Structure 1
Amino acid sequence: MILYPAIDLKDGACVRLYKGEMDQVTVFNDDPAAQAKAFADAGCEWLHLVDLNGAFAGAPVNAAAVEGILAAVSVPAQLGGGIRDMATIDAWLGKGLARVILGTVAVRNPALVKEAAKAFPGQVAVGIDARGGMVAVEGWAETTDMTALDLARQFEDAGVAAIIYTDIDRDGAMQGPNVEATAALARAVSIPVIASGGVSSMADLQALKDTGAPLNGAISGRALYDGAINVPDAVALLRG
């Protein structure tokens, strides 16, 4: 399994939200590139980037911060937030991102996800954000009547590189991930699943690993900034 440290970008700074609420924000670093380098230097093999403003705007907003991160590190990075058309996907991958994450558009326009996955093999992931098991879109502002599993199954044979499954009610709350739902999703589809939301301790990482489900990795944010999870220890635990 891979540890994906989360760098959530809002107004050019590295922040964390509480349960996805844009007005409940903590700024952890006003230099995202330096933060990315610190994670890479600590042994992280991937970075998970989110353009929070972009998720609400429906278009990239924190491009300068993302480009600064890509210039500062050599480890691969994936980015989600406001990526909703082929031109934006093409532009980001051309700038050196290893993977783009499609969230809202996966619900609104699944055909685009399939087209992108075919055009850019191994470089398109789907972000499935769920509240009470139901998919939420538009920066989590709107909950749909579709289940996370139903959405995931739409892309079973599309060549999607990964599914990032986030339990919104756990995100930023330091209450532990929804281990059962995440493991169930990973077992139900053949696409690699990355756990996200509430991963706040080494015990949480161990619990995800202990499910035996074919999880690709886990995303953690606040716990890494607060020091609740030691990055080199976490990388070693998941790698082992």
Structure 2
Amino acid sequence: MKDFIIPAIDLKEGRLVRLYRGEEQKVKVYSQNPEDTAKFFQDMGFGRIHVVDLDGAFGGSLKNLTAIRRIRKVFSGVLQVGGGLRDTKTIEELSKEGVDLFVVGTVAVKSPEVFQQILSLFPERVILSVDSKGGKVSVGGWKEESAYTPVELARLYEEKPVWGYLYTVVERDGTLEGVDTTPYVEFKKSVKKPVLASGGVASLEDVKKLYGVVEGVVVGKAIYEGRINLEELE
């Protein structure tokens, strides 16, 4: 299961936090030192972590580079980073810091030509973030609704050199409401590349439900609230 679960570290003003349904004001702080948590995941044997710069997602540009740098120093596995990655310069900067994969969403919808540039510079290193809210892809820190359904957005780039997709059900994110596998099953029918699931995981049972449906699951709040005991994972 440690190969399937991808622990999430969400950054806000340098701290590790979680939001409720992606709402900027509904924030809970879990740690002042995110790198300590990253080191914990390293020691527990996780091979990948998912880091989100929430200030970057809401503000449109990378804000937590110092925290990301500290995380990279203590975590030797695959590091994927998202939040405010909307130009080639930002991604080049993260690449120099040793970030492996880049989670990009808004620019794929709003500036396709820039997204194509990013893909040409970093082939197979970009995860297309597909944030589903009310059946449509949400962008700009989940504040704006696009015209695309998740499948429509994926089909635009399925033949391009994206690594795969991070499909988030925004309405369930940070809620501990549990997982509905239906959106992921439907989405997988339209794509061949790997899909990572995110949103609503409340227990190990939820993780098991997704096993075999997607290639990985991002888990945050369920870990920090003690709903999933990492000591028991294989």
Partner of 1:123: 125
Which residue of the other structure, out of 44, 47, 65, is the alignment partner of 2:46? 44
Instruction: Quote the offset at 1:97 in angstroms.
Output: 0.2
Partner of 1:174: 176
Partner of 1:200: 202
One-letter amino acid of the counterpart of residue 47, structure 2: E
**What pairs with 1:106-185 in structure 2 (closer than 5 Å)?**
106-185=108-187
CA distances 1:178-213 after superposition (whole Å, capped 9, x unpaired):
31101221221012100001112111011111xx43
Partner of 2:96: 94
CA distances 1:42-94 after superposition (whole Å, capped 9, x unpaired):
11110100000001111101111111101111111100000101111111111
Where does the alignment leave 5 or more consecutive residues of structure 1 unmatched? Answer: none
2-side partners of 1:108 and 1:191: how far apart?
Answer: 22
1-side partners of 2:120 and 2:95: how far apart?
Answer: 14
One-letter amino acid of the counterpart of residue 117, structure 2: E
Matched, 1:228 2:191: no
Cα RMSD for the two superposed structures: 1.3
Q: TM-score, normalised by structure 2?
A: 0.95
Q: TM-score, normalised by structure 1?
A: 0.93
Q: Secondary structure at the match of 1:145?
A: coil
After superposing on structure 2, the runs of 4+ consecutive aligned residues of structure 1 that deviate more than 3 Å are none
Partner of 1:25: 27
Instruction: Quote the offset at 1:122 in angstroms.
Output: 2.2
CA distances 1:151-204 after superposition (whole Å, capped 9, x unpaired):
011111111012000000000000112311012212210121000011121110
1-side partners of 2:201 and 2:131: how far apart?
Answer: 15
2-side partners of 1:115 and 1:191: how far apart?
Answer: 20
1-side partners of 2:44 and 2:188: how far apart?
Answer: 28
Instruction: Quote the offset at 1:232 in angstroms.
Output: 4.7
1-side partners of 2:73 and 2:126: how far apart?
Answer: 21
Q: Secondary structure at the match of 2:95?
A: helix
Contact residue 2 and residue 45 of structure 1 kept, 8 A: no
2-side partners of 1:54 and 1:81: how far apart?
Answer: 5
Where does the alignment leave 5 or more consecutive residues of structure 2 unmatched? Answer: none
Which residue of the other structure, out of 1, 4, 11, is the alignment partner of 1:2? 4
One-letter amino acid of the counterpart of residue 150, structure 2: A
Partner of 1:217: 216
**What pairs with 1:47-58 in structure 2 (closer than 5 Å)?**
47-58=49-60
Q: Secondary structure at the match of 2:160?
A: coil
Partner of 2:79: 77
Contact residue 7 and residue 50 of structure 1 kept, 8 A: yes
One-letter amino acid of the counterpart of residue 15, structure 1: V
2-side partners of 1:230 and 1:85: how far apart?
Answer: 38
- In the alignment of these two chains, the number of paired residues is 232
2-side partners of 1:70 and 1:54: how far apart?
Answer: 18
Partner of 1:188: 190
Contact residue 51 and residue 62 of structure 1 kept, 8 A: yes
2-side partners of 1:183 and 1:96: how far apart?
Answer: 33
Contact residue 18 and residue 173 of structure 1 kept, 8 A: yes
* Percent identity over paired residues: 39
